[in-house]
Amino acid sequence: MAQIKPTNGNCPDCGKPISGYNASSRDYGSPIKTCKCCGQQYLDRRYIELAVEPPDPSDLSAATGLKMALIGLGMFAVSGGFTLFTIHFRGYYYRKMAFVAIASIVVMLFGIIDSIRTKTGAKQKSLDKKREASEQRLMDRAYAQQLADLGYNVPDKYL
């Protein structure tokens, strides 16, 4: 089998760009992908294979949601204060700041929901499901061997 090469946004074999590629994004799934143009396999390290890799730390930490909630609160305090201050002008800035105040409430809510999901273990449950799917993929010995050949720390039970 041909050596699987890592991608940097283009297919390493035919050079065609991978649609929607964003170097900083992270997702769960198999890091071995197939090019839609040439059919060759390539390695996409943005995908985390949970059976052999740890999850993204931000998916385990309540700090991510709390940070978001605090940013939203700060934004709300500033824009809300400014909205109240300009309320009797009823002009352009008033509407703009009222919009920012509403947007910051949304940010705050997302942050609160995120930290609740972390605290209640909903995030952990969703990660557990993804890990199970990952373990299922690893049951395929040829696939497990491919990952091992690529330098992944594959447990012996899969090989």
- In whole angstroms, how close is the CB of 47 to Zn ion at the nearest point? 17
Residues 26 to 45 in contact with Zn ion, rule: CB under 5 A: 35, 37-38
DSSP 105-153: HHHHHHHHHHHHHHHTTHHHHHHHHHHHHHHHHHTSHHHHHHHHHTT--
Measured CA to CA, the distance from residue 145 to residue 159 in angstroms comes to: 6
Q: 35 or 138, CB closer to Zn ion?
A: 35
Binding-residue total with Zn ion (CB under 5 A): 6
Q: 36 or 119, CB closer to Zn ion?
A: 36
Measured CA to CA, the distance from residue 115 to residue 109 in angstroms comes to: 10
Which residue in 4, 11, 69, 147 binds Zn ion (CB under 5 A)?
A: 11
Binding residues (CB under 5 A) for Zn ion: these are: 11, 13-14, 35, 37-38
